[in-house]
Amino acid sequence: MANWVLYHTDGCHLCEQAQSLITPLLVDDSLQLVDIMSDEVLIAEYQTSIPVLKSEQGSQLCWPFTAQDVRQFFTQIE
C-alpha cells in the first residue's frame, strides 16, 4: 500500500474538506499530514496551492478535487 502526504495548514477550511474526502477512502493510516507552516521551503512551494495530496512517488493532486478524483489518483499510483 502506498503512503500519502496531505500538505495543509491549520485553520484552512479547504484543507479540512480535503482531509474529510481522503480519509474514508484509505484502508489504513497511510495519510501523513504535513503543515506547510513548519518549513519555509514548503511555504514557498505550497502556499497558494494547498491542500495538495502527494504520493510517495512524487505525483501530486492539487485542490480542487473530489472523492472520485482521489480514488482515481490512488488507482493510478498503486
CB burial of 22-39 (b: ≥16 within 10 Å; e: otherwise) equals beeeeeeeeeeebbbeee
pLDDT digits (tens, 9 = 90+) for 3-23: 899 999 999 999 999 999 999
CB 28 within 8 A of CB 14: no
- Rounded Cα gap, residues 7 and 55, in angstroms: 11
Rounded Cα distance, 15 and 8, in Å? 6
Please write the tens of the pLDDT for every residue from 29-49: 889 999 999 999 999 999 999
